[in-house]
Structure formats: C-alpha cells, structure tokens
A and B are shown apart, each in its own frame.
Chain A
Amino acid sequence: MKKNIFILSILLLIPLLLCAKEYDLTVANNAFQEQNYQKAEEEYMKVANEGVKNFELFYNLGNTYFKLNDLGNARLYYEKAAKFEPMNKELNENIAMLLASIKDKEDIQRSFVETILRKVYFAFSINLLGVFVLTFFILMMAFIVLLIMSRSAVLKRIVKIFLVILAVIFFLVTVTEVMRIRDFYTDDSAVILDETVIAYSGPSDDFPQVFTIHDGLKVSIERFDNDWVLIKLPSGNGGWVLTSTLGII
C-alpha cells in the first residue's frame, strides 16, 4: 500500500515538474500580421529580453528582422532558432533566402555522406532524444531485472539478445544526445550585425586590415581579448573584430 502511494505521488509530480512559465506573443504576432514590423520587433524583444529561449520566438524574430531588412539580426535569430530545430524545413528555406540577400558569399559544400550523417544527427530534437535515452534506459533495466529474476534458460538467452540490442541503441542515442547538448550550450558561432566590418590581424585597429565582411555572415569565434574577438571565416581566414559588431548565437 505504501509502495503504491509512493508511485502515485511520483506520477503526479511529473506534470508539475514539466510545467514551465508561459509567455504571450499575441500582440507581437498580430503586429507582424498587420505588417507593423517595428512594433512586432519591440514586442518579440520584450519577451526575448526576459531570457526566454524558444524556437517560435526566435523564428518569428528572424522573420521580423528580415522584413525590417536587418539581415544581421535576422540571421542571428534564425541561427538561434536552428539550435532548437536544425532540420526545420521552413526555417532552412528562410535561411537560404536570407543567404541569397547577404553581400558575402557563404558556400557550404557537403558531401553525400556528410549530408546523410547530418540528417541522422539532427533527426530528432534534444528533448526527444532525452526521452529516447530515458526509455531505452528503463527498458534496459527492465530486461536486466528479467534476466535476474528469470529461471528459464531459454528466456534468459532471449533476454540477453534483446539486452545487447538495447545497449547498442542506448549507447548511440546517449552519445548523440550528449553531443547535441554540448553543441547547444557551446557559444562558438556568431553573426555579423554591422553593415560593414573590417577585420585586423590583431586585437586593435592599428594592425593591418585582413578582410572586410558584411552583416548576415556567420562566423566562428576563436577567442576573446578585451573588446576584441578573433573570428574565423568559413574559408578558414581569421581576423580580429570588435565584439560589438557581432551577435553570438
């Protein structure tokens, strides 16, 4: 009886634990629909400034900035949204349209194998992968219990086979989940926000210029030095720019 009460209380606790704070985007969404993009941006940013991380919020912000012709911020928020749903079709099509509008060419060539691996890697969201991890773990434990408790040799053999399969799946899912969470929390990419940004060979404008880039370009961050940051272009070229000229994804 006591055991039953314990299980019941756990089950009742789950929805409470899952319940997160909610935010209303009605005003912002309506402003966008009325093509009042300036207001939509203000309203979306009110929520974003509260530190809310949400796919729909970032996607809509990206769209709003695109409509305001602020390609830097549009890209920044699209990339932020992509952290949640990297394979979202509409998001990727919007990014493709944005890439056609930015000044710097960003040609990402992927081999067939790379494309397939990427599709598999990003096939499920981080939370869905988390559910998979938990499910496979519970299943694995259940099979271990069955193995311990079983007295039939045949049943034990069958359970062992299933256990091996489950262990392999669990390992792959867990590795993917860990890597995805690591990617999610790593701030190693940024988007250029200023219309024209000059990069220098050192963390000061006294150093020689190395290249000029424009808003909307995605770069990777190498390291920081006071107000300056060393960025790396998709082509591999590196240069120092002012931190204020870019937005970290």
Chain B
Amino acid sequence: MCFADNISVTSYVDKNTVSLNELLNLTVEIKSEEQIDAEPEIPQLTGFQIVGQSSSSSTSIEIINNEMTRSVTQSFTYSLRPLKTGSFTIPPIYTKFKNKTFRSKTINVTVVETNSNIQQTRKNTQKLDKNTSNTIQIFLQATPSKSEVFIGEPFTVKYILYSNKGLVGLNAEKMPEFAGFVKEETFQTKNITHTLEVISGIRYYAYHISDYTLFPTYANTFNLDKMELLCAYEVPAKSFFDFGTTKRVYIQSNTSTIKIKSIPVAGQPDNFSGAVGQFDIKSELSSSKVKTGESVTLTLTIAGSGNIRMFDPPTMPVIPNIDTFPPEESDDLYQPDNISGKKVIKYILIPEEPGTYNLPAISFTYFEPRSETYKTINTRSLSLNIERGKIVPGSLSYIRPHDIDIQGLDIHFIITKNIISDYVLIVKQAWFWIFIVLSLLSIVAALIIKKEREKLLQDKAYYRARISNKKLQKDLDEVQAALKNNDVSGFIVAAANALKNFIANKCNISAGASTIQDISSQFNKNKLPQIDVDKIIDFLKMTDSARFGGTKFSHEELEEKYNELNTILQNLSKTKFRKKR
C-alpha cells in the first residue's frame, strides 16, 4: 500500500494457491479523495495470461467527530489464467497520476496441477464419490468417426462437452486448426443448450459444441488439435447470507490420434484425378437433336460419398466437328457432414457439321478405401443427331473463327519443271550484239541519207545528174511506144528528146535551148572520144533531118535507130561530165 497526496494503490489476489484449470483474480484498488483519471499499468506477468478485465468505482463518506472524510475507491479486476505450475511473483503494479508514480506491493502465487474439486477425465469420474454434489465433473470429448483413413478420405470429428452441473457461460478460447487437413465446420453451437446423458451411472449435461469434416492432405499420424473452452458454472449458496458465486473453469479436449495412409501408387490408372470414396456416374444430353451452331448441354453427374469437392472432373474426349467449351462445375453436398453429395459438370457442345455423332463414353476413376482398390466407371455412349442450321454472326451460337492449328513447318516444295535448259546470258549471245551494231549502223545510215539530201537540195547539177537516169527511162519508154506503134515522127521526136534531155541533165544545160553546136562544145570540154561524139552528132542530125526533111523509115530501120540510141546512151552514162555550176 502506498500513500502519497492522499492517493493509495493496493493490489491483492483472491487466492494465493491456484490450480491450472482455475482462474486467478488480481484486483488493483486506487483510493483517493476525489475521482481521478488514473489506470494501473499491468506489467508482463510470468506464468499467467490475462483473459478478462473489469472495473468498478465506489465512494464512501465517514463522519468522525463532526469531521467528514470522503474517499473514492476504483477497483480494476483482471482474470489471470495460469499457464504452468510453480511459484510465481506478481510484480508491483504502477499507477501514474499528475507526474507521480504510485506502486503496490508484490504478491506471491503458487500454481498447482489440478484442483481436487474439478474432475476432467471420464476415467477419474468413475472413481469419484457420487455423493460429493459440490464437485464439478466436466470434460470435453473429441470423437473422430475413424481412426485410420486414406489421403482424401473424409471423416468427421465431434466435440461434446459433458458437465454434471449446468453451465451459465461458455467461451471458446481456442478452436482447432487441423494442420494437414482441409476442414469444413459442419456444426457450431449458438446457444448453451444441452441434452442429458448418463455415463457410468452419472447424469451429465451434454453440450454439443461443434462438428468438423476433415479431408487429409498427406500421409502421417496426427494428434488432432485440442479445443479449449472457458466454462462458467454457479456454485449454489451454502447459507442464507451466501448469495452463491459463479466460477469459471478451463477445459481442454482429449487427445485423439488419426493415422493417414497413402493411396497406393501401384495400379493407379492414368485418368485418376484424386477422387476417394464411393461414386456413381451418369450422363445426359439436354437434347438429342440440334442444328449446327446451336448449343447442347452434356450433363455429367458424379454422386456418392467422398471428397467430392477435391477432384477434377473427367476430361471430355475430343469429338471431331463438335466444339467443346470448358465445363461448368458445381458441387451439391448433403447435410450434416458434407461427405455425401454430387458433382455436376456441364459441358456446352456446339456442333459445327451436320451428321449423327456418337458421343463416346466418359470414364471416371476413383479410389475406394473400403476395398483399397481403384474403380473405373463409365457413362453410356450417347447419340446426337445434328442438322444443318442457319449461322447468324453475332448470335450466341455463332461459331467464331478460331486460330488455325499449325502442325509444323517445312521448306517449300521443289519446282516440278521437268525440262530445263542451261542458263544462257543474253549479253553473250550474237544476236544481242547484232542488234547493237545494227542500231549503230542506223545512225550512220541516217547521217548518209541526211548528207545526200542536203547535197540534192544544194547542188542542182548533182540533183539533175541523179535524176537523169530516171528521166531517161521515161523518155525511152516513149521512144519504145512510138516504135511499137510504128509512129516514125513520134519516134524521131522522142528519140531526139531522150538524147538531148540526157545530155542536158548530165551536163547541167538547158535541154530545150541546146543545139548540136552547144552539145558538141560540151563534149569537147569533157574530152569525149571523137568517135562517140561523131555518133551522137550524126544521130542528132539524123533526127533533125527526119523531123524537118520528112525522111521516111521502115520499122526495121527504126529498130536499128533505137539500138543505135541505146548504144549512145550506154556510152554516155559511163562518161563522167564536168558539170556546169
């Protein structure tokens, strides 16, 4: 007890010796003259765990010798649960107020194994004195449905609290975790209700706390997790002035051992997907007649007892020309233990091509713990009749184009041209160069032609000389025509013209104005052989005399004259004349 500024802090316990399954009440009282705002600071308590806390306040007034004294007491009560046996010291408890610290004294507490007044086990119960009505007999019984199971094989654990006294409060301090199992809580009590059970001649109140269904995940031997409860019961009044008290007690469930066995690997079928239990399978189609593009549902139901939620649905065999969507899966488990039930798998099938299809049987393999063997069951094969339907893009049943399945890559195929020829470079070909040379020659030819043309245009004498032969031919044609017609005068005129025109063109002189003298002088200039000159002059004179003298010629004579003219012209054409510019 400490006094300072009329503030005192006192701490005490309700008992100095406590058993492991009892609670110890630690009370801290702060006394002061006025109501103050202070709270004790509870230090770390070795060997105890604080499980509850309450506080109260009271005010007392004392009048002694007409002097009034007022005191305010604040009580803080902590419920401590002993964690182990032994002697422990509750350290001083400090309280701070207005920068001052107040402390209480230390308290020694001894924790013993069990209180003889509380019996937890059923074994001890049998030895109890049945007449000791004040003794509470309480125990929490965990009962697994099996002691030896296979991985995946479900079993249940039931927790029932037995007490020979009626309970007024129940608090779950620790619920089991069940490491190594997949657990499903199938029942949990909501109210403190009980049934009556007689065990070994003693009548008990049986409180059903909770039920679990457990699915083992690996092989081992497990001690099931313990459940811990805090129970409150009333101790009846012993005398008139005793109002009775409520006592609280900790209860732990008993230890249960479960052995989990592995599923045999030998002889395990390939399609085993982890189902353990006993099952039945059936399949049905929503319709046996559909149109392409419409959907049809294949429902597969696997019913029975076992780990229904924990296995994969069987794989749907690939059906050509029928598009299969990933299945929709639902589990329907039956109360109360969730072990029995059914798994419903719905496959949406969309046929792409019309025809009658036999949907193959779907097989399902499970492990049966009872016979410790694998069992494979099959659905019956179903028939589906598909008719050609109308495909409406955008509708739900429309089959969307899917990616082309590429099976592999290879090189391109050979070129299947059977007749080939050796490669020939065209630039090495003669014709290529012939064309090149011909093209070049065309330039040369063009230049020559151009030069010739220019010359013809510029040089009149040259032009006349070039055209003299053509003109002569024309004139000779006339001579010949006259000869043919035996036209003597026409022949003479034509022959004279032909000779004169030729000479005029050759010598670049005027044909009309040229006389025998002019022609003779031209011949002299060009130094023609005299014999030729004489022949020409004679011929011209003959024509003149024939024209103006009226000489007659026979046809033979005319032919002779024509030959003479030809000879003269041939000689003249071989002669090169100096041209008059």
Contact = CB atoms under 8 A, between A and B. Distances in A.
16 contacts: A17-B429, A18-B431, A23-B419, A47-B420, A55-B423, A57-B420, A63-B412, A91-B412, A97-B410, A127-B425, A134-B436, A138-B435, A141-B439, A141-B443, A149-B450, A181-B425
Interface string B420-460: 11111111011110111011101100110110000000000
A17 B425 contact: no
Given A134-B436, A145-B442, A148-B443, A29 B418 contact: yes
Interface of A is mostly: helix
A24 B435 contact: no
B265 interface: no
Given A22-B419, A131-B426, 19 more contacts: A13-B431, A21-B421, A24-B418, A25-B417, A25-B418, A52-B422, A53-B423, A54-B423, A56-B420, A60-B415, A63-B412, A91-B412, A127-B424, A130-B425, A130-B427, A134-B426, A138-B435, A138-B439, A181-B427
Nearest to B435: A134
Of B416, B417, B420, chain A has the most CB atoms within 10 Å of the CB of B420
Interface string A144-181: 11001100000000000000000000000000010001
Given A14-B431, A25-B417, A63 B425 contact: no
A149 B431 contact: no
A94 interface: yes
B426 A130 contact: yes
A90 interface: yes
A97 B420 contact: no
Contact of A93 (B412, B420, B442, B447): B412
A51 B421 CA distance: 11
A59 interface: yes
A55 B410 CA distance: 20
Contact of B415 (A56, A131, A184): A56
B418 A94 contact: no
A101 to B, nearest CB: 10
A1 interface: no
Given A24-B419, A53-B422, A145-B446, A94 B411 contact: yes
A29 B415 CA distance: 8
A84 to B, nearest CB: 7
Contacts of B410: 97
Nearest to B418: A26
Contact of A23 (B421, B440, B447): B421
Interface residues of A, number: 53
A24 B420 CA distance: 6
B73 to A, nearest CB: 91
B409 interface: yes
A54 B431 contact: no
A60 B435 contact: no
A64 B415 CA distance: 12
Contacts of B237: none
A32 interface: yes
Interface string A1-24: 000000000100110011011111
A85 to B, nearest CB: 11
B419 A25 contact: yes
B302 to A, nearest CB: 48
B414 interface: yes
Contacts of A121: none
B235 to A, nearest CB: 90
B413 interface: yes
Contacts of A149: 446, 449-450
A66 interface: yes
Contacts of A21: 421-422
Contact of B411 (A23, A56, A97, A181): A97
Contacts of A67: 411
B450 A63 contact: no
Nearest to A138: B439
A201 to B, nearest CB: 37
Given A18-B429, A52-B422, A144 B414 contact: no
Interface in A12-49: 13-14, 17-18, 20-26, 29, 32-33, 47
B419 A94 contact: no
A242 interface: no
A66 B420 contact: no
A149 B443 CA distance: 10
Interface in A180-205: 181, 184
Contacts of A98: 411
Interface string B229-268: 0000000000000000000000000000000000000000
A126 interface: yes
Contacts of A10: 431, 434, 438
A94 B440 contact: no
Contacts of B416: 29, 33
